[in-house]
Structure formats: C-alpha cells, structure tokens
Amino acid sequence: MPADFPISKLLRWFRHHQRPMPWRPTASRPANPYHVLVSEAMLQQTQVATVIPYFERFIKSFPTVDALANADEQAVLTRWQGLGYYRRARHLHAAAKAVVKEHHGQVPDRAKTLLALPGVGPYTAGAVASVAYDTPEPIVDGNVARVYARFYGLHDAVDRPDTLKTLWSLAQTNVTASKSPRDFNQSVMELGALVCTPKKTTCTACPLKQACKALAEGTVDRLPVKTPKKKPTAVTHRVLAIYRQTQRGRRYLFVQRPAQGLWSRMWQFPTDETANADLAGDLGLKIAPPNPVSSFTHLTTHRTVRFNVEQARVLSGRLLPQAGVWRPLNRLVDLPLAKPQQQAAAQVAATHYCA
C-alpha cells in the first residue's frame, strides 16, 4: 500500500505558484478545448516556455478548429517551423479535420475518443480530457514520472513497461481522489517543472517534502532511474543552393522533403545526404562549378549533421515538372524550412550581399 499523496497541499501550492499559460482556463477565461488540444500537441517533448510564442502565433493564424481543418498543410507547417518534430503538425492538422468531420467540430471530451485522433496518445488524451473538461483522467508525462518516482521511491527504470503501469495506476488513484482533476494533473506537472526538477531540486520548497520517500532516504538525486540512450551518429549533408539570374535578382531552387523521416514535408535547398549524388543533374539542370558558402553543425537527437553549403548558377536545362520552386531569398515566409535550412538560406543571402 503506497503512502498517501498530499493532494490538498499540492493544490494549495499550485494556486500560488503556477505559471500563467495562454491555454490554461482561469476564473475569467473558460476552457477552450481546441486551445488545449493545440497546446498539448506542441508540448510533446517541448518545454512550456518554448511553446508559448508558437502557440500564440498558431492560434492567431488558426483561431478555431474549423479554421485549422480548412487550412492547407503548407500554412500549418509554416506556423510550426522551428518547433521541431514536424510530424506533430501534420497529425494535429489531421486531428482537426477528424474533429470537424466526425465530431461535429467539438473536441471530444472522453479520453478513449481522443485517443483515436492522430498524434494523440495516452498522455495527450488524458491531458485534454482533464484540462479542457475537468474529467478525472490520469496522465503520466516526464514530470509526473519524476515526481512519483521520487515521492514513492520507485527505483526501477521509469520507462520499463511494468513501472509505467505502476505510474499510471498511481496517477489514476490520485486524480480520482483529488476532486479537481484539471488542477491536480497540472499541479503535478508544474511541481516537476519548478520544484522537483531533474537537477538542482528545491526540496525545501516542496509541498510534498514531509512524505517524500526519496527525500527521506536520500535518493532524490538518483531518481528517476532511466535506461541509457544511444549516442547520435555523425553524418554530412551537402547543401547546394542553385540559382538562376533574373532581371529582379537571383531566384533559388527549393525542393520538398518526403513525408517520412527527418524534417518530413519541409522544404530545403537540394541536399545530398548520401554520397556525391548529382543533385543538379537529377533535377534536369546543368550548373556552373559550385562555390563554397559555409559549414556548420546541426544537432538532433539521433544525429550530428555537418552541413556543407555551396551555391552554383544554372547554365542550362529545364527543371523537371513538380520538382521544386524558384524563390528570392527575401520571400521565404510561406515556405516551411527546418532550422539548418533557414541557417543555410541566411548564409547564402549574406554571401550574396558581400559579393
């Protein structure tokens, strides 16, 4: 039988210390389930402070679930650009279409129904149900796992299936007992973000300190246990900025990435990720010898990518139909680019001004 979780103390702490978030319902702002759904999609593996400006811009562009459902994918990806995990944007777009088509434009209020939406897993389903509708659905995210692993003294790896089962069970028990599911679920996460942090915890300020197992046994800095992750592999990408000269300046060629894999459906300069592919020839173009522009390293979770950027002028040839678009570098606002391609574009533009 686990120790009693001090729900009331935690809720009291939450009322005084919670950070304002634009999607959070308050006394003067009723819950907006669409806002909650958008926020939870953005918050997957992404910190609150990072999400807030993206959320504001996204809602300004797509104020309602109907607006999002009717938007085209390029516009959605453009609003997501820079946030990462771009599959989330396409899933959220598909979820909005499903809400309009299958749920009369109302974001579902039951976790089981939410779970059927693309990009909505167990955490997001519980979060939308509890935060938007105040229903007693459990949630377990990185914060909750850390708080519970410490409070209950769970020394098994928290990403193990049996430990996860325990965590969800504890979350279920606590949220059911809380009588305020919306505040309770958010309060555990907020405690994990502000007090029960991965490092430099501030246990003296913790509303759970009197009953925390890890604090009592001195294992706070060793919990939660996690299985180690693989190191990223090093790869090199060759970026080729191909331009043609027009009366109104240079137009650069951009192509779209495939729907699967890294930076799905984002746009880029033609980029060789394998060996010495014939980038221009494959597009039906003949180019002058390329000039080096810059090199930089970009880090992702699984790769460290060395980007070598070059540019070259088109000599002849006709671009294959549907292969890409020609754009001046000062008109890329509606073309969703991932971070390294944004950086490459900025550096190509800089050399242009110097030359």
Partner DNA sequence: AAGGCGGGGTC
Partner DNA sequence: GACCCAGCCTT
Residues serving a catalytic function are 40
Contact between 45 and DNA by CB under 7 A: the answer reads yes
Pick one of 103, 244, 339, 352: the residue that binds DNA (CB under 7 A). Answer: 339
Smallest distance from DNA to CB 63, Å? 20
Specify the residue, 83 or 239, whose C-beta has the smaller distance to DNA.
83
Q: Footprint of DNA on residues 191-210 (CB under 7 A)? A: 192-193, 198-200
Which of 6, 11, 22, 48 touches DNA (CB under 7 A)?
48
Binding of residue 22 to DNA (CB under 7 A): no
Give the closest residue to 255 by CA, choosing from 237, 241, 275.
241
Q: Given the complex with DNA, which of 86 and 252 has the nearer CB atom?
A: 86
Nearer to DNA, 227 or 247 (CB): 227
Is residue 33 a contact point for DNA (CB under 7 A)? no
Based on the shown chain and the rule CB under 7 A, indicate whether residue 124 belongs to the binding site for DNA: yes
Phi-psi region of 270 (alpha: psi -120 to 50; beta: other; left: phi over 0): beta
Q: Does 87 contact DNA by CB under 7 A?
A: yes
Partnered with residue 298 across adjacent β-strands are 305
Contact 284, 318 (CB under 8 A): yes
For 20, half-sphere exposure in the C-beta direction (CA atoms, 13 angstrom radius) is 5
Among 34, 54, 86, 252, binds DNA (CB under 7 A): 86
Could you tell me how many residues of this chain bind DNA (CB under 7 A)?
A: 61
Q: Using the rule CB under 7 A, is 13 a contact of DNA?
A: no
Q: Is 301 in the site for DNA (CB under 7 A)?
A: yes
From the CB of 177, what's the least distance to DNA, in Å?
21
Work out how close the CB of 281 gets to DNA at its nearest, in angstroms, rounded to a whole number: 26
Please report how close the Cβ of residue 250 comes to DNA at its closest, in angstroms: 24
**Binding of DNA at residue 152 (CB under 7 A)?**
no
Residue 16 makes contact with DNA by CB under 7 A: no
Decide if residue 32 touches DNA (CB under 7 A).
Answer: no
Cβ at position 257, least distance to DNA in Å: 9
* 3-state SS track over the chain: CCCCCCHHHHHHHHHHHCCCCCCCCECCECCCHHHHHHHHHHHCCCCHHHHHHHHHHHHHHCCCHHHHHHCCHHHHHHHHCCCCCCHHHHHHHHHHHHHHHHCCCCCCCCHHHHCCCCCCCHHHHHHHHHHHHCCCCCCCCHHHHHHHHHHCCCCCCCCCHHHHHHHHHHHHHHHHHHCCHHHHHHHHHHHHHHCCCCCCCCHHHCCCHHHCHHHHHCCHHHCCCCCCCCCCEEEEEEEEEEEEEECCEEEEEEEECCCCCCCCCCEECCEECCCCCCHHHHCCEEECCCEEEEEEEEECCCEEEEEEEEEEEEEEECCCCCCCEEECCCCCCCCCECHHHHHHHHHHHHHHHHC
Q: Provide, rounded to whole angstroms, the least separation between the CB of residue 276 and DNA.
A: 22
> Which residues in 162-191 contact DNA (CB under 7 A)?
186, 189-190
| Segment interacting with DNA (CB under 7 A) among 97-105, 259-267, 276-284, 286-294 | 259-267
Contact call for residue 226 and DNA (CB under 7 A): yes
> In whole angstroms, how close is the CB of 62 to DNA at the nearest point?
19
d(CA 270, CA 322): 14
Q: Residue numbers of the site for DNA (CB under 7 A)?
A: 21, 24, 39-40, 43-50, 82-87, 91, 118-125, 127, 131, 141-143, 146, 161, 186, 189-190, 192-193, 198-200, 226-231, 261-264, 298-303, 338-340
